[in-house]
Structure 1
Amino acid sequence: MAGRIPDHFIDELLARVDIAEVVGERVQLRRSGSNFHGLCPFHGEKTPSFTVAADKQFYHCFGCGAHGSAIRFLMEYDRLEFREAVEQLATLAGMEIPEESRQAAPRPEQGALYDLLERASRTFQGWLRQHPQRERAIEYLRQRGVSGEIAQRYAIGFAPPGWDNLLKALGDPSNLQRAGLLIEREGNRTYDRFRDRIIFPIRDRRGRTIGFGGRVLDDGEPKYLNSPETPVFQKGQELYGLHEVLLADRHPPDIVVVEGYMDVVALAEHGVPRAMATLGTATSTHQVERLFRASSDIIFCFDGDEAGRRAAWRALESALPAMRQGRQVRFLFLPDGEDPDSLVRTEGREGFEAHLTQATSLSEHLVTHLSDGVDMQSMDGRARFIEKAIPLLQRLPPDVYRHMLLERIASLGRLDTDYLEGVVDGRHKPERTRRPSAPEPGLADGSGVRRTPVRLAIALLLEQPSLANEVEDIESLKGLDDLPGLPLLVQLLELARHEPHITTSAMLERFQDSEHEAALWKLATWDHLVPASGLGSEFADAMNRVRHLHADRRLQSLNERLQAGTLTPEEWEEWIRLKAL
């Protein structure tokens, strides 16, 4: 298994790669000063709000909030995993990933399984075309409205009746069993797992066959049978139809998540080729992340009965850790007695698309579910509502989306947003003062960033990391938590001092997916109105004000202890020193 790619390699890679070149190969950009502008590739827009900052080596969309380094851009635009994006950029920059961090090649036994599974898929397809007993399968697909074109696109096949058809066709019983295609019974005897079934190959994002689903042709049970877990197939991580969706459209406007293989196939048959299905298990967070790699808009489509609503709630809980600004999850509950297959055959593509426009947002579904059966007009009812919401809010990553949902929940519960946020974050003494509805005069600008010395120092440091060398005594700032953001400022100062050549994009990459990500990106894109020629002096002034603010707060605390007569000798000396400042 490959090791973790070292931070110093990522830093150097981002310093060597020109993000404007990477983005410019995929998005039409126009230069404006030191930056480039264009239409955002992550949401539809007519007026450019997408900016690539060449000097800071990051991109940011002021419309949808998408942001990141060259690594994140490739992950989001080319649908790559982190390591794949790093490998692609390393090739572009002429760099080699450290030996101990390189992606290990598939183990020989895994390679053998991929080959065997592909041979099995071709065998099943061949039986659908030529086997003497294929007529029942052909008739079933014809009744379901599946054309030859769609059957070929999804590599649909047929497993004929019989106990050992696949074993006779392919041999290699040991690997067939490891691939989940044979079942062992008493006496070390084996038989084919899939018999007398329509076969749906499950392919990974790269198009490799990793497993199968089989639909019975009579009234037998189970109706659907899936491959078991194998060295190359984990149900909770894969999605049926992912490969086919990305072949049809690398950047689909949304993804429709359904429950069955036939739902995926029927939607594709009727002109909706962007459907995927989970593999007989509850939707996992890993699957949601993979869905977001394909599209920023996910629509879960469930039956409107109780079972469908339970499945939708489980999907919502799994989606919460993946929710960030610019991502959207919606839920569509179908009319009673309908599934996507029957609905699209009855109403056609336009009718089904019309239903999709009525899908409920994640936030609305969450609120509706939590308030169901709760008296929101009574204090006790609202308290119960908040109690149920807290563990769900705690699953959200720190981000604009989380803050907006907190505000919505707090408003419905008639609570102060800061107080609820304090409870969700586990702070022992959350501030109970209500947030001002408008910025205090002189302290904030149109960006919504309140101009404090700590925030300004962080913003300037992000713009020019070398400013950290101007701070003589970082140690004296450690352990001070009386100023919001000060511990983060210390982290950034130490990082910039320890890595003297670190760039802005590499600095931000270090905090990707951390609790500080949203705040740092807001400050990195904040127009603080300080000219480049004045960065040094303004940073020094901000750091001086940080120290003075801390001194004032510390002196106030010592004054209270002085009046109470509880100052220690060391605190008395500190009080004298601070009074002299």
Structure 2
Amino acid sequence: MGYKYVDDIGNIIAEQVDIVAVIGARVPLKAAGRNYKGLCPFHSEKTPSFTVSSERQAYYCFGCQKGGGVINFMMDYENLDFLSAIETLADQYGIDLSRYLSQTDELHRDYSDLYELNRQAARHFYRNMKHSAPAKDYFKRRGLSDETVFHFGLGYAPDSWNDLTNALRRQFSAELMDQVGLTATSKGRQYDRFRDRVMFPIQDLRKRVIGFGGRVLGDQQPKYLNSPDSAVFNKSYHLYGLFSAKDHSGPDKRLLLVEGYMDVISLYEHGVRNAVASLGTAFTEQQAKLIKRYADSVVLLYDGDRAGQQATKRALDIFFAMDFPVYTATIPGGDDPDTYIVRHGREAFERFINDNLRDGYTYLLELAKQELDLEQISGQREYLQQAMTILSPIKDDLIKRVYLNQISQDIGLPVEEIVRTPIRRAPQVTMTDDFRAALLSLILQQPDIARQVREHMFFDELPLPWQQLIEFILTYNGYNNTLALDRFPLDVCAVFDQRQRQAVAEIDRQNWPVLLRQLLIEEIEHDIKRIHQDQTVSHEEKLRQVVTKQKKIALLWNKETL
């Protein structure tokens, strides 16, 4: 779990580091005028379009439109969440984050000792494994290489009540070991929680060990045991293997969600390195948000038995509520991802996934059909009721229509009888939606419009940046990113670049003079407010200026002025 910092922590850290130095340590940059340029790390390109501004402490790529400040860069480049990006920069540049802990933080303390304790415990378990024939044999039988074992830090806790306690008692207090759940105390006696188990360290996005999972080698129960929640570990907020999988989601940015640690590890061993697992609990909304942060879609690879189906349904409900693309693929024959890929290999595994991939809604509709007799009217009625409930989260009417057609084929009823109310059309964007953005796009895209705006009788009432942009466009007979970088700040050029690419509704294109009038009127009304608040001019002068402005507004409302 991350610390709770003051609200402005992002700006505080950004002010203490130089974005050129941060990015330059990761991307080769060359000076280009007042900025720096390099090949974009976020997409493939041969001509540098990735620009970094020391003056604005910002970056922007004119190829893929990624941009922002130093925190955004760390999040995108290192695949970190906000707090992890903050803490990584602080570590690298020697910034003491304890100065910026929120005063409302209940614990208000440094947890580095807990992280260090877990790290030392993981190292101890790893060393134990190296000297334990049963543990080494277990991982060997599971087909794991030394590289994979090391990558995940797998280890072994021997069949002893005090092996770990004795190994770490000189460095860490008994209270601290109890806090992270490595030990427990009963009737004044402290003992190791994990005994005779192969150990699976659980790492956060910064690769810090925050907890453990243990699988028994003998006959004791329970078969699987996880660390309890602690100040640095909450099962609901983490995913096993995400520290690695987030960097292997591929060009389509897809993650696989599996049930167990060994599924993640075995897939990794065979070259499928984008799998994650929940931590021995039901899948949570917080875990779904983690997946959404690092992927554009997810595939659920749960077991096909009743428990697996119920777990799939719960996960689908969470992703549906987030409107996140979710797919399913059920491993056949009682296999799980681990056993299937061991038995058939990576190529067969990936081919099976591709051949059997179904979107979440189709999975639920097929599941509903399996349990009903659609030859009977009662079965059709029940299926229809379930199907409409399944489809209720879909907001896009066109997508919903596809499934309604599928249901229509399943039960032989026309869509109109299934849904008695008309399908709503998606609302059209009109000129009332963000008129400033639409007008800016048109000026950037069509130099002729920029020329007509320049010739408007009230051109000088436009905001100064608008005036400067229009003069620039007319000087160079169009907008040019390269030339603009020498004239405007990088963050302003980033906005221009995005607006130049933005599609504009036809109604806005036809009625751009109305957009211009609306902008001018708003700016003049803003000036009138400023005049009223100005304490440096006389009442008579204020009156004269306000009347002049109001006359301009009156003229603008006259269509002939457009």
TM-score normalised to the size of structure 2? 0.62
The Cα offsets for residues 12-53 of structure 1, whole Å up to 9 and x where unpaired, read as 99xx999xx989x8699xx9xxxx9999957xx9999x999x
The Cα offsets for residues 214-247 of structure 1, whole Å up to 9 and x where unpaired, read as 1100233211111000100111111222223357
The equivalent of 2:503 in structure 1 is 526
The equivalent of 1:356 in structure 2 is 353
The equivalent of 1:115 in structure 2 is 116
Percent identical among aligned pairs is: 28
2:515 aligned to 539, 550, 560, which one? Answer: 539
Q: Does 1:459 align with 2:437?
A: yes
1:158 aligned to 147, 156, 159, which one? Answer: 156
Distance 1:470 1:280, change over 3 A: farther
Give 1:306 shift: 1.4
**Cα distance between partner residues in 2 of 1:291 and 1:209:** 20
The Cα offsets for residues 69-111 of structure 1, whole Å up to 9 and x where unpaired, read as 56767544532323566899999xxxx99x868899x965511
The equivalent of 1:146 in structure 2 is 144
The equivalent of 1:179 in structure 2 is 180
Distance 1:126 1:46, change over 3 A: closer
**Cα distance between partner residues in 1 of 2:87 and 2:124:** 35
Give 1:309 shift: 1.3
The Cα offsets for residues 140-179 of structure 1, whole Å up to 9 and x where unpaired, read as 2222222222222211111111211111111121111001
**Cα distance between partner residues in 2 of 1:90 and 1:260:** 34
Q: Does 1:386 align with 2:362?
A: no
SS in structure 2 at match of 1:351: helix
1:339 aligned to 332, 336, 339, which one? Answer: 336
Q: Residue type of the partner of 1:5?
A: D
**Cα distance between partner residues in 2 of 1:266 and 1:335:** 17
CA contact (8 A) 2:397 2:423 kept: no
Q: Residue type of the partner of 2:391?
A: A
The Cα offsets for residues 292-315 of structure 1, whole Å up to 9 and x where unpaired, read as 444334222111111111111111
Q: Residue type of the partner of 2:336?
A: D
**Cα distance between partner residues in 2 of 1:368 and 1:58:** 45
Distance 1:210 1:88, change over 3 A: closer
For residues 285-296 of structure 1, what are the structure 2 equivalents within 5 Å?
285-296=285-296
Distance 1:244 1:435, change over 3 A: closer
Give 1:201 shift: 0.8
Give 1:290 shift: 2.1
Q: Does 1:129 align with 2:105?
A: no
Give 1:347 shift: 0.5
Q: Does 1:5 align with 2:8?
A: yes
**Cα distance between partner residues in 1 of 2:520 and 2:334:** 69
Q: Root-mean-square deviation (CA), in Å? A: 5.6
Larger Rg: 2
CA contact (8 A) 1:250 1:294 kept: no
SS in structure 1 at match of 2:235: coil
The equivalent of 1:495 in structure 2 is none
SS in structure 1 at match of 2:283: coil
CA contact (8 A) 2:158 2:196 kept: yes
Q: Residue type of the partner of 2:348?
A: G
**Cα distance between partner residues in 2 of 1:380 and 1:75:** 47
**Cα distance between partner residues in 2 of 1:410 and 1:159:** 55
CA contact (8 A) 1:453 1:542 kept: no
Give 1:403 shift: 5.8
Distance 1:540 1:265, change over 3 A: closer
**Cα distance between partner residues in 2 of 1:195 and 1:90:** 37
The equivalent of 2:214 in structure 1 is 214
**Cα distance between partner residues in 2 of 1:27 and 1:322:** 38
CA contact (8 A) 1:251 1:294 kept: no
**Cα distance between partner residues in 2 of 1:529 and 1:37:** 37
Q: Residue type of the partner of 1:156?
A: L
CA contact (8 A) 2:326 2:360 kept: yes
**Cα distance between partner residues in 2 of 1:435 and 1:454:** 18
Distance 1:307 1:523, change over 3 A: farther
Q: Residue type of the partner of 1:244?
A: S
Give 1:260 shift: 1.4
**Cα distance between partner residues in 2 of 1:434 and 1:164:** 67
Q: Residue type of the partner of 2:7?
A: R
Quick check: 108-117 or 381-390, which moved more? 381-390
Q: Residue type of the partner of 2:387?
A: F
The equivalent of 2:234 in structure 1 is 234
**Cα distance between partner residues in 1 of 2:90 and 2:511:** 32
Quick check: 257-266 or 370-379, which moved more? 370-379
The equivalent of 1:578 in structure 2 is none
SS in structure 2 at match of 1:162: coil
For residues 320-331 of structure 1, what are the structure 2 equivalents within 5 Å?
320-324=320-324, 328-331=325-328
CA contact (8 A) 2:158 2:195 kept: yes
CA contact (8 A) 1:255 1:298 kept: yes
Q: Does 1:192 align with 2:192?
A: yes
**Cα distance between partner residues in 1 of 2:110 and 2:434:** 56
Distance 1:38 1:433, change over 3 A: farther
Distance 1:147 1:506, change over 3 A: closer
The Cα offsets for residues 339-388 of structure 1, whole Å up to 9 and x where unpaired, read as 12211111012121212213222343244456665769968854553244
Distance 1:411 1:319, change over 3 A: same
For residues 265-414 of structure 1, what are the structure 2 equivalents within 5 Å?
265-324=265-324, 328-358=325-355, 359-369=357-367, 382=384, 384-390=386-392, 392-393=393-394, 402=396, 405-409=399-403
SS in structure 1 at match of 2:184: strand
Distance 1:88 1:348, change over 3 A: closer
Aligned residues: 444
> Which runs of 5 or more structure 2 residues have no equivalent in the other structure?
408-413, 444-457, 463-488, 523-558
TM-score normalised to the size of structure 1? 0.60
**Cα distance between partner residues in 1 of 2:502 and 2:301:** 37
Give 1:332 shift: 1.7
CA contact (8 A) 1:258 1:275 kept: yes
> Which runs of 5 or more structure 1 residues have no equivalent in the other structure?
395-401, 421-430, 437-448, 472-500, 509-520, 547-580
SS in structure 2 at match of 1:357: helix
The equivalent of 1:399 in structure 2 is none
CA contact (8 A) 2:162 2:192 kept: yes
CA contact (8 A) 2:128 2:158 kept: yes
Give 1:124 shift: 0.8
The Cα offsets for residues 103-155 of structure 1, whole Å up to 9 and x where unpaired, read as 99x9655111111111111111111123xxx2222222222222222222211
